[in-house]
């Protein structure tokens, strides 16, 4: 139907069979772009959550088998579990998903919002993997340091943990404690650095202001 015929019949010539009467249509570029931005934002957030949980489970599998008392005694009981493998699965999820969710929101905002060239989830896969590698390295070195210092009596457990945990397990417990502390410290500081670096690497689109 031509535009003249549409006017004679009292119809809107901008009416689209695909878009119907709903504004400018489902295939309007602005609508499509908005959906793409939202989807990519969600993908970055989900990538961070999955990465955090993956790291937490793998990390806790190592530390739980090194000293199960770190989870069975020093952590509150959520489920009546005694297996190191199951405890690692439980706390690998519970202790990390919220960290990944917070980092995901911050990183997605730094990667997508504003007038700078946006980054996709694929662009951030390698930097996130690098952060996990740094966390694992720091945890390993800190765990070795904690174990060595405990074995040479430079550090020792104190308070109720010293009596609740068998003395032969103290060094292993301190190795776990130092490894987990290092992971949280490096993960937190590294996450802040990753957000700042991501936003800083985005180039301003010509003709706009950041």
What HEC string does 14-78 produce? Answer: CCECCCECCCCCCCCHHHHHHHHHHHHHHHHHHHHHHHHHHHHHHHHHHHHHHCCHHHHCCCCCC
Q: Are 51 and 92 in contact (CB under 8 A)?
A: no
Per residue in 91-105, pLDDT (tens digit) is 999 999 999 999 999
Which residue is listed with tokens 């003249």? 4
pLDDT greater than 70 at residue 25: no
Cα(70)–Cα(74) distance, rounded to whole angstroms? Answer: 5
Per residue in 135-150, pLDDT (tens digit) is 999 999 999 999 999 9
Q: Are 172 and 66 in contact (CB under 8 A)?
A: yes
pLDDT greater than 50 at residue 67: yes
């Amino acid at each position: 139907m031509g535009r003249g015929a549409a006017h004679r019949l009292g119809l809107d010539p901008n009416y689209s069979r695909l878009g119907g009467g709903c504004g400018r249509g489902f295939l309007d570029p602005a609508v499509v772009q908005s959906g793409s931005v939202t989807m990519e934002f969600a993908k970055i957030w989900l990538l961070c959550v999955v990465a955090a949980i993956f790291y937490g489970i793998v990390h806790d599998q190592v530390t739980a088998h090194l000293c199960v008392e770190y989870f069975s005694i020093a952590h509150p009981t959520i489920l009546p579990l005694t297996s190191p493998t199951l405890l690692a699965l439980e706390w690998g999820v519970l202790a990390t998903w919220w960290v990944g969710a917070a980092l995901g929101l911050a990183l997605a905002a730094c990667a997508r919002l504003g007038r700078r060239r946006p980054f996709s989830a694929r662009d951030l896969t390698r930097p996130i993997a690098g952060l996990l590698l740094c966390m694992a390295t720091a945890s390993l070195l800190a765990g070795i340091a904690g174990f060595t210092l405990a074995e040479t009596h430079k550090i020792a457990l104190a308070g109720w943990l010293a009596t609740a945990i068998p003395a032969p397990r103290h060094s292993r417990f301190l190795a776990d404690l130092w490894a987990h502390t290092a992971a949280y410290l490096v993960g937190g500081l590294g996450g802040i650095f990753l957000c700042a670096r991501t936003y800083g690497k985005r180039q301003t689109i010509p003709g706009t202001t950041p």
